[in-house]
Structure 1
Amino acid sequence: MPAVAVNPSSTSSTTVNSPPNNNNPNLNSNFAAAAPRLDLKHYLTRPSEHLQKYPVLLTAILNETVDGNPDADFLHAAIEALGGLQTVAQLRTFQQAMGRGVPGKWEWHDLVTKEMRESLERRECKRQSIIFELIKGEMAYAKDLENIDIMYIRPLREADPPVIPRDRLESFITDVFHNFAELHAHHQRLVEKFHQVQTEEFPVIRSVTAAVFDAALNFREAYMEYIPNYPIAAYRIDDEMANNPAFKTFVEQCVRHPDAHRLDMKNFINRPIPRLLRYELLLKGILDETPEGHEDRVEIPQVLEVIKAIGKDTEPGVVSAKQKVELWRYNSNIVFKPGEWIDMDLLDKNRSLIHTGRLLRQPDGGLEWSGWSELFVLLFDNYLVMTKAREKDGITKYFVNRRPIPLDLLTLVNFTDPPTQRGAGLLRNLRGGERHNTTDTSSPSNLTSSSSTGASGLSSSTSTSGPGTSTSTPADTSRTDSRSVYPCTIHHNGRMGGNYILYAESSSARSEWKEKLEEAVGLRKVVQESNKVFEIETLSSDTFLVPSMGLGSGDRGDRSAGGLGPSYENAFTGKVTCSVPFNTPDGRGLVAIGCAEGVWIGFRHDSRSMRRVLHLKMVTQCAMLEDFGIFLVLADKSLFAYHIEALVPSSPSSTHSSQTPQKLSGNKDVYFFSVGTLHGRTLVIYMKKKGLDSIFHVVEPVVERINERSKAPQGLMGSRFGFNKTKSDWFRAYREFFLPSESYDLIFLKVKIAILCAKGFEIMDLMDLQSVTIPQREDPRHASLAKRWESCRPLGMFRSTDEEFLLCYTEFGLYINKHGDPSRHTGSIEWEGTAERVALHPPYILLFDTRFIEVRHVQTGRLAQIIPGHDVRCLWDGRSVNIPAPQTPSGPNDSDEHIVQEARVHAVMNAVDASVRNGYGGTKPRAVAQHVFELIPTIPLYLPGSLASPSTMTYFPQSFSPPHSPTLRPNTIYRS
């Protein structure tokens, strides 16, 4: 075939084949266009190829040169110089390749002449090869770190449409790639030092230890931050791939990138961890081949010590991060029944998992012949959760079987009962009855052992294994199984609680569960005490007394038997029912407390200053109109108004000191009243009943008439009962309306009022008396909640955000939007107790069960604190015309920092340790003191790190980079 020279002026003989068909112009055109590209590589390699010919030609000339010819010395020098030049060129090619292409795969012997290799000892050749491998590996590692930015970070930021939503992208990049750029900077400098040493000393390098030692000291802190973050990074990648198809596609495409080497994203972010181990291996290899007397024999062990210390010091952080990831996986995989979701705050940075184990549960009483079913129990540092584990497609889901138990309400009852046989479960059920205890469960002393009434049979095959061992599908065990199991009785002191019996497979397993439960409950108490939202401040500790429950009728008047005499009988005040703080015109801070026997007033926080100022019976409500100097009190269904100067005179010559009270209600049938401000008016609204209707009377105080000197009582009735019968003296009628429903309370909103009634929440405009009921029970969308609304009484309505309100009922809460429709897919929030009152101290609501006060965040409904007590009651819920309406935080981060520090809630509970005993040396309590207190918000003191099991780690582990909770999707998994 004919040949065509590409470049006639070139001395090269390189040619390309002519086109196979000269008659085809298109083919000729394509061939002509392709020819230069085919020769480009040739032209680029021409200099190096030509340079390689010189030593061959010069050697041939030298061989033909006769002895004594002066050219021989010059030829020898030229050949050696050209050989050195070729070695330098190859070394530079290798360094520029950075691990890519054919030059990136060269080894030390590929760059060293045979003569040089033969001139060195075999041991030294091996040492140089390991040093070369160390340098080559460092170059590839630095390039991989650089590729993280090239292959992942830049494309994620530049993607349009975005692969990850913009609002989550930066947090994702931080969580996954963390401080990789800092690592890349350190190792790029190390590569540059290696190249400098190679350039100066190649092919025989004396040592690279100094460069590695300096780098190890400098990159230590960067690794201390990066390595503990890897479990979090891996979890974020897995979580994003499982929930974001676009991201999964992006990762799969990146695997095909030329520089990815068919490795995925997790392999790249894991590269720094094995690299430290690789340093140890290579440095030990160099040390083994280093001759005696060489400085590396001393310096390499020092470098190894520094590198090993990095790995050892990051272990606590890695363990802590793995524990956090385990918590996040549980948070994602715990599945609640529809409408029963509970925010257990598992993403909190201080959350920890104390213990896990497989359990066996007996049927809930009755003559059931079915076997025991397997449960998987998780003991967090705030909740005990019983679940059923089910695996599908390699993912284990944990279906909640029983309502999670807050550790604040968990009591360990009995762990000493003898073992029982699994086959005896039926007999135990015959004795057990229903799960809910019919006796008083408010005190652990009333709880029975494993054979008690109200126990729910649960059997435990205790295990400390994590989620990896919980993936087996629960299977029923034959009721004829006669293996011994060891009962453990615990008690849930909540509305939906009672006794639970757990069964351990061995005595040691039961002991371990007891240890872990005691540990978790104890840690919870410590943490809550250090981070409690509210603390109790005493208003009165021993003024208000009620008879002891153990005081029989025969004891009351029998002095000879050590009973209480008439003087002690008169000390009983009856139950405290209400209170209100106020300030007198002269600036004194006082508090009024109402009870069954009247009203007491005293200085705040000075129990001894309490004095009875009103001898009224059955006081149930009181309020203060400070701007008008009027004290309102509801006693025995009659509403009275007193001038505060008549109760607490500022001076003996006060103009109102002898003024008689005024009765607002007329007949004796007022059930409740409420005071507030609407459209600039101070109003008092009280409710009477007429049949099934609620009649509301709205009156307005008149400041001019209040400040007038009192008039003489009008007629016999006024002088006989000591109050002015005429309503128009201090108050004038403003509105009157009725509601065809039973009503429980009335709340003043910003421009309207809300009436809490049997129908729900009636929102009314007082100007035109138009109203609307929320929620809409007739709406078919709310059918699942309709029965709950009918069975529970409304307690309160609070603004949770700018667009939402929280409706509080006796058993649950519900978020609604401005239209009155449920606004959150999580459904209702079930209270732990049965609330009798609810109060707001932003950003928290306080729910009053007789056994405890339940404190929850108003925006999330998350349980924040449990304040236990006996016969707990709310006295004042913060409503007053003189206290500004509390402002709800605008966002989740605007909460504790802006909490109002003044008390907004008063309560009372029986002071068990302050029982008053008889005066004749008896030991039986004769009266119980009622502890009246206010709730003061505290400044949270967060502990430094997660509290985990003391048996597995220290209480306050040192962590250079504590794992943080990522911005994850909330757990919204429900059973279908």
Structure 2
Amino acid sequence: MSQGGRPHPHVAIPQSGNQQLPPAVWSSNVQDYDFPTPVVGTAAQPWHSPDYALSPTQAYSGPQRTNSSLGRTASFSASYHDPDASLFQFPEPQIHRSVSASSSRPSSLQGSHRYAKSDVGPALHSPMERRLSEDSAVFTPTQFTEDGLSKELSSMTLQSEEGLRRFQAGELSPADEEWHRLVPETAKEALGPKEVQRQSVLFEVFKSEREYVSDLEAFREVFIDSLPTAGVMPPEQLQDYVKETFWNLDEIISHHQSMLGALFARQRDQHPLIQSVTDVILETVLNFRPAYDSYIKHYPIAEARHRTELKKNSRYQKFAQRCMQDPRIKKRDLVTFISRPVTRLPRLMLVLEHLHKLTEAEHPDLDNLPLIESILSDFIKSTQPGIASSESKVKLVSLVDSLQFRKGEIIDMDLFDESRQLVHMGPLARRQRSEVDWHGWHDYVVALLDNYLLITRPETRPGGVVKHSVVSLPIPVELLRLGRFDEPSETRKERADDGRLLESLRSQSKPMYPFTVYHAAAKSSRRYTLYANSESSRKKWHDSLHEAIGLRVARQEANQWFAPKTLDTGFFGTAAGAHAATGRITAATPFVSAGKKFLAIGCSTGIYVGIRGHSDFKKLIKCASPTSMAALQDYNKLIVHVNSLLYSYSLDILARVSQGQSTPQALEASLETIAGQDNPVIFFRAGELLKRMIVVYACKSFRQTTVQALEAVKHPTGHPPRGSSGSMAFRNFGTPFYVPRQAYDMTPMTRTIAISTERGLVVIDPTNLSTSATLVIPDFNAVSTSHDERFATLKTRCEAAKPLGIARSDHDESLVIYEEFGCYVSRHGVPTRQFSFIRWETKASSFAHRSDNILLFNSEFVEIRNVQTGRLVQVIEGRDIRLLHSGPPAIGPLLIAMRAKSVKDDSGSGSAGGLSNGAVSDRIMELVETAEIRTPSALTPASSMDGMMWDEWDM
């Protein structure tokens, strides 16, 4: 008896059960991905077509896709390392016959029955029921009800219960795992062909779900659970591999175990005449969609990871071969099981569509079946973009793994970022004629990422491994510009290569379609004319490049590491005609007085002072184009370098005069000449040295440069007595020293000073000249070997380059900054990182160091890079960009000036600040660091080292 108190409707299996119906009727021995074979009388149905069915002898050998129009199968997956392999395709269902699995099912899958709409009496008054009641040759003429049918079937035999138990346990032979083998011949004749076919399809739902769960559980037990003890890879690597390859498979298994338990309970309750299972399927489909969505979209990455490990790890390869020998695996490879969840839903939908066609118009399943089919169809379509994205990710990983860069260069393109995308990739040609190359055509593979454009030359290595050698420095997308895409095609002639002697002397011609791209900071030297083999390919490249540039610019603007904030525009600028103007901005510095924030702006006509945020600046100091300025806030001094002299003014008096609270005479009275009377000052810098505020300046003589350091002195009241330097507020710090020839700039460190000279970066301790050595960095003399090609390349490059300064990257390393590149040195000045260097995208004229980043300033661009990796993180574009202020201290505001458009464009009117229409104005901006989006570094942040001593710098 059933749990519900009513007898099971059993049908006897006659002793002559080996007598089978013709194969065309009953050979529905299919797996969960098969379409049930129809009974006689349905030969016109589409599943009889060769396009929908494979040969009965064709074995299942892993996921394939069927081209229904050609009646053939194609490879489903692409090689992880082979860029020429086809893209991943969403697995489509296959229809073929195979032997069903016979693995045992655990008793834990027994589930409780939930009654469907078809379980109640009114649902049974269908044409099928009327046919059963009319068939007096099988059943006694009685009123047809569910109880009546159950009694009639149960009275025949109880042997079917044992057959059902063995089916659910997977103990039947493959030939007996069919619905028609579990019911008597008389019952099949009574039900009629259409209902028999419907019951066969319902039985297929049970069997396919059982085999699907059995396969997934065998896969987990044999493959996944055995990996930790197989010794195929280190434990830390194994954890990542299991996560990336098997993803959320456990979640999917759990959903289907529950579904199978409910289906088996329904089958035990209603066999042999199953009324409905759509309620069970609908509930499960609604629950497992998120799990399947995650798994299917990740599948291309999972398969690629497995194939990669299979190629490079011999121990893993042997382990996989051992697992295939397990009887439950039936010699199927790992890809077959990884793809099972991907192919399950389309195959389930095919079975349900067939069931829908066999369901009578009055059957309650017509409420659920269209809904389930619609949910599955929409869901399968919705996963396509995710699969395409994963396929692109796999191609990207394959490309990254195959890239070969020039030795000696550090190129960090952030290729392993989760958001990295391969936008477009394909073959293109370039025309570079030479004496030994008669045709001048060369083939390349060009890859457009979301952040870089790569031009590579493919090379096939032994073993069929393809490598892509990067032939030119990658172009950042934010600096990529498009030239012409409409030039006429050119003819490419190539020698025929078909093995025949005469034909090899002939040439073949084909049209090539040119387009031009170039680097915004090197319009002529980094300009590339590439050729596509068709007009459609050229248009595809144009659309991909245009879209990638737009998206990159939008992302950069939305995620800026340093946000330009305009402080003033329109007031400062050059004269047009006879109108007076401030002139070009050359220097600036911020300071605070009486709680108010001021800006001192140096122009070609003098120094202007005003409150920050206001455009009411007043010219307080008459001088011509000051070179640089620095405000020593704690010492109440403004240092000005102008006309080869070094002056100082009182900051407080400067602020009061700008507000009309003091007289210009008082400001003149605070003037003090610091240096330059004897020899012209060529530059100065202010900073902390040994926790003291010093001003270091350089004076040029005929054959050498003299460097002098002065210490700022605090005096609480009155006028201090003159120091030993003759200054009232500064005294000599250490001993003056000399550097040969030309010096360009200097970087104050904790206890030493780095001077940028023609010979390199000279590091000197001004307080201990007699006992300390003068170190020139990078120190190539300290390298024990000079046979490395990279060593010679770096040495030659550094000796011919102009150094700008040095920035601390971490506790043990610093970055030496040149105009066009940078290289890392140890705290002893010895080159590190295998003598490699970083090439800038622009030629820098100055730099600033803030937190984890360095900012390289060019007249058109500000290039922002991570100081520890050299990675380009942001580019700011402008016209006539100048660094006005970067310290001290190194954590203060960064002020820049850049050329704005006409004053009319800036202010919306014909003139502003005394300039006539058409004049050119300067824009003052602050680069504000956006700390909220800073990525934490694995190394010690530079910001945390601002107060650290540089005592480790061993000279």
Taking structure 2 as the reference length, what is the TM-score of the superposition?
0.71
Asked if 2 retains the 8 angstrom alpha-carbon contact of 1:579 and 1:592, the reply is yes
- 1:744 paired to 2:744: yes
**CA distance in structure 2 between the partners assigned to 1:101 and 1:766 by the alignment:** 94
Match 2:546 to one of 518, 521, 525? 518
Contact 1:358–1:377 (8 Å) recurs in 2 = yes
Q: 2:613 aligns with which of 596, 600, 605?
A: 605
Local SS of the residue matching 2:796: helix
In structure 2, distance between residues paired with 1:105 and 1:546: 96
Residues 823 and 831, structure 2, Cα contact 8 Å, conserved in 1:
yes
Amino acid at match of 2:744: Y
| Pairing 1:901-916 to 2, within 5 Å after superposition | 904-914=893-903
1:12 aligned residue: none
The residue type paired with residue 883 of structure 2 is C
CA deviations 1:689-740 (Å, max 9, x no partner) are 4554443222212212x742378xx9xxxxxxxxx99624211212014254
Q: Deviations over 1:89-128 (max 9, x none)?
A: 443344334xx89589844455556676676545544443
With a CA cutoff of 8 Å and minimum separation of 6, indicate the structure with the bigger relative contact order.
1
Question: By how many angstroms is 1:836 displaced?
Answer: 0.8
Shift of residue 271, structure 1, vs aligned partner: 0.7
Report the Cα offset of residue 785 of structure 1: 0.9
Task: Identify the match of residue 378 of structure 2 among 284, 299, 309.
Answer: 309
Cα pair 2:724 2:731 within 8 Å, conserved: no
Distance in 2 between residues matched to 1:105 and 1:579, nearest whole Å: 92
1:411 counterpart residue number: 481
Name the residue aligned to 1:685: 696
What is the CA-CA distance between 1:626 and the residue it aligns to?
A: 0.8
CA 1:489–1:312 in 2, change beyond 3 Å: closer, same or farther? closer
Residue 882 of structure 2 contacts residue 896 of structure 2 at CA under 8 Å; is this kept in 1?
yes
Compared with structure 1, are the counterparts of its residues 489 and 289 closer, same or farther at alpha carbon in structure 2 (3 Å cutoff)? closer
The 3 A distance-change label for structure 1 pair 119 and 178 is same
Give how far 1:924 is off: 11
Partners in 2 of 1:682 and 1:758 — Cα distance? 27
Who is 1:727 aligned against?
726
Counterpart in the other structure of 2:471: 401
Partner of 2:564: 536
Contact 1:369/1:479 (<8 A) preserved: no
For 2:52, the equivalent position in structure 1 comes to: none
Counterparts of 2:433 and 2:700 in 1: how far apart (Å)? 45
Whether the aligned pair in 2 keeps the contact of 1:643 and 1:656 (CA below 8 Å) is: no
Tell me the equivalent position of 1:937: 929
The residue type paired with residue 581 of structure 1 is P
Change (3 A) 1:415 1:311: closer
> C-alpha separation between the residues in 2 aligned to 1:302 and 1:726?
92
Between the aligned partners of 2:636 and 2:481, the Cα distance in structure 1 is: 49
- Cα 1:88/1:800, change in 2 over 3 Å: farther
Compared with structure 1, are the counterparts of its residues 654 and 620 closer, same or farther at alpha carbon in structure 2 (3 Å cutoff)? closer
Matched letter for residue 601 of structure 2: I
User: AA paired with 1:525?
Assistant: V
Equivalence for 1:776? 779
Q: How does 1:465-544 map to 2 (within 5 A)?
A: 485-495=512-522, 497-504=525-532, 510-544=538-572
In the alignment, the residues of structure 1 paired with residue 356 and residue 277 of structure 2 have an alpha-carbon distance, to the nearest angstrom, of 12
Q: Deviations for 1:452-491, whole angstroms, at most 9, x for unmatched residues?
A: xxxxxxxxxxxxxxxxxxxxxxxxx999876554543443
Question: 1:197 Cα deviation (Å)?
Answer: 1.5
Is the alpha carbon distance of 1:218 and 1:540 closer, same or farther for their aligned partners in structure 2, counting shifts above 3 Å? closer
Aligned to 1:831: 840
- What is the rounded CA distance, in whole Å, between the counterparts of 1:618 and 1:668 in structure 2? 19
Residue identity in the other structure for 2:211: A
In 1, Cα distance between the equivalents of 2:309 and 2:902?
Answer: 55
Deviations 1:2-50 (A, max 9, x none): xxxxxxxxxxxxxxxxxxxxxxxxxxxxxxxxxxxxxxxxxxxxxxxxx
User: For the Cα contact (< 8 Å) 2:736–2:766, is it kept in 1?
Assistant: no
Q: 1:266 to 1:616 in 2, by over 3 A?
A: same
Question: How far did residue 628 of structure 1 move?
Answer: 0.9
State how far apart, in whole Å, the 2-side matches of 1:245 and 1:758 are. Answer: 55
Q: Which residue does the alignment assign to 2:945?
A: none
SS in structure 2 of the partner of residue 847 of structure 1: strand
- Higher deviation after alignment, 836-845 or 746-755: 746-755
| Distance of 1:653 and 1:928 partners within structure 2 | 32
Partners of 1:247 and 1:802 lie apart in 2 by: 41
Choose which of 920, 943, 947 in structure 2 pairs with 1:928: 920
State the SS of the aligned residue for 1:668.
coil
Amino acid at match of 1:139: R
Are residue 797 (structure 1) and residue 806 (structure 2) matched? yes
Residue 669, structure 1, aligned to residue 684, structure 2: no
Q: Residue 283 of structure 2 is aligned with which of 196, 214, 227?
A: 214
- Which ranges of structure 1 fall in alignment gaps of 5 or more residues? 1-79, 426-476, 549-563, 715-723, 887-902, 943-976
* Per-residue deviation, residues 773-829 of structure 1 (Å, max 9, x unmatched): 432223225222111111222223223344443332111122344454554469322
Give the residue type in structure 1 aligned to 2:164: L
Q: Which of residues 216, 219, 226 is equivalent to 1:145?
A: 216
Compute the RMSD of aligned alpha carbons.
3.9
2:219 touches 2:329 (CA, 8 Å); kept in 1? Answer: no
Return the alpha-carbon distance in structure 2 between the equivalents of residues 101 and 689 of structure 1. 100
Distance 1:86 1:507 in 2: 72
Deviations 1:307-343 (A, max 9, x none): 2222122122222222222223222223322234533
| Aligned-pair CA distance for 1:583 | 0.9
User: CA, structure 1 residues 853+288, in 2 after alignment: closer, same or farther (shift >3 Å)?
Assistant: same
Contact 2:816 2:825 in 1 (8 A): yes
Flag structure 2 segments of 5+ consecutive residues without an equivalent.
1-152, 495-503, 935-955
Shift of 1:289: 4.5
Letter in 2 for 1:265: L
Distance 1:597 1:736, change over 3 A: farther
CA deviations on 1:581-639 (whole Å, 9 max, x unpaired) are 1111x011112222444322222233x32222222335212111111101111122222
Q: Which one is further off, 185-194 or 686-695?
A: 686-695
- Quick one: which of 706, 710, 713 aligns to 1:702? 713
Distance in 2, matches of 1:364 and 1:594, equals: 53
Change in 2 beyond 3 A, CA 1:653/1:810: closer
Offset at residue 832 of structure 1 (A): 0.9
Give 1:623's match in structure 2, choosing from 622, 626, 630. 630
Deviations 1:850-873 (A, max 9, x none): 221112233332222222222222
Q: Is the 8 A contact 1:659 1:710 kept in 2?
A: no
**Could you tell me the TM-score, scaled by structure 1's length?**
0.69
Shift of 1:292: 5.6
Q: Distance in 1 between matches of 2:637 and 2:663?
A: 18
Is the Cα contact below 8 Å between 2:232 and 2:319 reproduced in 1? no
Please tell me the residue identity of whatever aligns with 1:682: M
Counterpart position of 1:848: 857
State the alpha-carbon separation in 2 of the partners of residues 292 and 596 from structure 1.
Answer: 92
Report the AA paired with residue 492 of structure 1. Answer: H
Q: CA deviation at 1:203?
A: 3.3
Q: 1: CA distance between counterparts of 2:728 and 2:853?
A: 40
> 3-state DSSP class of the match of 1:328?
helix
**Cα distance in 1, alignment partners of residues 305 and 398 from structure 2:** 11
Aligned to 1:428: none
Question: Equivalent residue of 1:276, what SS?
Answer: helix
CA contact (8 A) 2:745 2:756 kept: yes
**Contact 1:422 1:480 (8 Å CA) reproduced:** no
What is aligned with 2:5? none
Give the paired residue count. Answer: 751
Asked whether the 8 Å contact 1:600–1:614 carries over to 2, the reply is yes
Report the equivalent of 2:111.
none
1-side partners of 2:727 and 2:163: how far apart?
109
Counterpart Cα distance in 2 of 1:499 and 1:728: 55
Please say if residues 656 and 709 of structure 1, whose CA atoms lie closer than 8 Å, have aligned partners that are also in contact: no
1:652 alignment counterpart? 662
Rounded to whole Å, the distance in 2 between the matches of 1:577 and 1:657 is 22
Deviation at 1:288, TM superposition (A): 4.4
